[in-house]
């Protein structure tokens, strides 16, 4: 009897030990399922908006002209950051139209601009980057010196500007303060329209004619410059719901009139009503010695000397970020 009891006890202990060992082996052998690495080095920001301004008069004693203006705009950012490398890309588009009583539809804004900068820094603490920068800008449709609507003074890719250079850039972590210095930047001016190129528009070499006005050599469609470029970007909330943004570019060509500086300064003030409604106030100043002013004199389009260009914008718009 004792022998039977001992056998039963030994069998129970052996079975328990076997089950326990199987449980341990099972737990160890089952691999863990690890999900895919979802970490991305890209930051994407998109913003589209539509600004509108309107004024209407009905039996208004003091007189006036009813008008309505619309501006469609977009800004798309793609920023790649990894270790000591930073690649920033920005696409800016704007197109505006105005309609007044008794006057044909007119263009008020036309911008297509692409900015790209690839930077490298020695460590992750420094805000200074060795940077290669590329900028391209042109327009979507023909431009006119109103009221003349028959002869265009600018066209898509006439002009188009390309800046390509190497330099140093100071950039804060949030990219709201940027300062770029480049001692070697090439500026390429493209005038794809032969009529405008023959006029020497936007600084390209104009056509050569004989004394009888017969064309000898057509104007060149491009111009290459090498010079010094300084650009700056600043964005800050100066008061609650009021943000200022300023972009400035200064360029001087080493070969042609060094010290004569091309200026492009775009200042805007954004007043936030809510997440999707904003008021915008902007001032854009341009001076380029190669851009000659045009005026309508005696029914003819006359080319004058370079002048400071000024544009002021005020509008209320709807913004959508995604």
**How far apart are the C-alpha atoms of 322 and 42, rounded to whole Å?**
15
299 vs 125: which has the higher pLDDT? 125
Instruction: Report the chain's mean pLDDT, rounded to a whole number.
Output: 87
- pLDDT tens digits for range 254-296: 988 888 999 999 999 999 999 899 999 999 999 998 887 777 6
Q: What's the pLDDT score for residue 299?
A: 65
Give the three-class secondary structure for 126.
Answer: coil
- pLDDT tens digits for range 119-154: 999 998 899 999 999 999 999 999 998 888 888 999
119 vs 299: which has the higher pLDDT? 119
Q: What's the pLDDT score for residue 309?
A: 93
The DSSP annotation for 215-278 comes to: EEEPPPSEEEEEEEEEEEEEEEEEETTEEEEEEEEEEEESSSSTT-EEEEEEEEEEEESSSSEE
What domain range is 174 assigned to? 41-321
Local confidence band at 227 (pLDDT 50, 70, 90 cut-offs): very high
97 in any annotated domain:
yes
172 in any annotated domain:
yes
Q: What's the pLDDT score for residue 31?
A: 44
Sequence-distant (≥ 6) Cβ neighbours of residue 246 within 8 angstroms: 232, 233, 234, 235, 265, 266, 267, 268
Q: Is the pLDDT of residue 303 over 80?
A: no
13 in any annotated domain:
no
CATH code at position 171: 2.40.230
Q: What is the dihedral of CA 24, 26, 29, 33, to 10 degrees?
A: -120
φ, ψ (nearest 5 deg) of residue 316: -110, 130
How many residues comprise the chain?
322
Q: What's the pLDDT score for residue 301?
A: 66
* 8 Å CB contact between 237 and 210: no
pTM: 0.82
**How far apart are the C-alpha atoms of 50 and 140, rounded to whole Å?**
17
197 vs 18: which has the higher pLDDT? 197
36 in any annotated domain:
no
- pLDDT tens digits for range 58-78: 888 888 889 999 999 999 999
20 in any annotated domain:
no
Local confidence band at 17 (pLDDT 50, 70, 90 cut-offs): very low
φ, ψ (nearest 5 deg) of residue 124: -85, 0
In what helix (H) or strand (E) does residue 15 lie, and over which residues does it extend? helix 2-29
94 in any annotated domain:
yes
Share of the chain above pLDDT 70, in %: 86
* 8 Å CB contact between 314 and 51: no
Total domains present in the chain: 1
Lowest-pLDDT choice from 24-28, 69-73, 99-103, 134-138: 24-28
33 in any annotated domain:
no
Give the helix, strand, coil percentages of the chain, each rounded to 5. Answer: 10, 60, 30
Q: What's the pLDDT score for residue 38?
A: 54
- In degrees, rounded to 5, the angle at the alpha carbon of residue 295 between the alpha carbons of residues 294 and 301 is 85
- pLDDT tens digits for range 174-196: 889 999 999 999 999 999 999 99
**How far apart are the C-alpha atoms of 120 and 297, rounded to whole Å?**
53
Residues paired with residue 166 on neighbouring β-strands, in sequence order: 132, 184
4 in any annotated domain:
no
């Amino acid at each position: 009897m004792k022998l039977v009891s001992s056998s039963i006890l030994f069998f129970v202990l052996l079975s328990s030990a076997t089950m326990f060992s199987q449980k341990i082996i099972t737990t160890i052998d089952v691999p863990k399922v690890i999900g895919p690495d979802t970490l991305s080095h890209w930051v994407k920001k998109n913003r589209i908006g539509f600004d509108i301004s309107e004024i209407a008069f009905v039996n208004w004693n003091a007189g006036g002209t009813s008008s309505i203006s619309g501006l469609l705009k977009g800004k798309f950012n793609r920023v790649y950051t990894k270790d000591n490398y930073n690649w920033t890309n920005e696409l800016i588009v704007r197109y505006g139209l105005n309609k007044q009583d008794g006057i044909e539809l007119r263009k008020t804004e036309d911008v297509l601009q692409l900015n790209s900068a690839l930077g490298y820094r020695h460590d992750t603490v420094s805000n200074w980057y060795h940077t290669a920068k590329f900028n391209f800008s042109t327009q979507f449709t023909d431009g006119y010196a109103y009221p003349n609507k028959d002869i265009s003074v600018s066209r898509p890719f006439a002009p188009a500007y390309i800046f390509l250079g190497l330099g140093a850039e100071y950039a804060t972590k949030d990219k709201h303060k940027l300062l770029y210095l480049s001692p070697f930047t090439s500026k390429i001016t493209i005038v794809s329209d032969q009529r405008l190129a023959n006029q020497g528009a936007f600084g390209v070499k104009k056509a050569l004619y004989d004394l009888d006005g017969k064309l000898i050599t057509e104007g060149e469609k491009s111009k290459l410059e090498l010079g010094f470029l300084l650009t700056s970007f600043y964005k800050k909330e100066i008061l609650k719901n009021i943000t200022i943004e300023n972009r400035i570019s200064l360029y001087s060509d080493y070969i042609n009139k060094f010290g004569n500086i091309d200026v492009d300064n775009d200042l805007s003030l954004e007043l936030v009503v809510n997440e999707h409604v904003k008021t915008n106030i902007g001032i854009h100043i341009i001076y380029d010695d190669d851009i000659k002013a045009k005026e309508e004199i005696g029914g003819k389009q006359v080319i004058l000397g370079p002048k400071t260009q000024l544009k002021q914008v005020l509008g209320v718009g709807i913004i959508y970020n995604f």
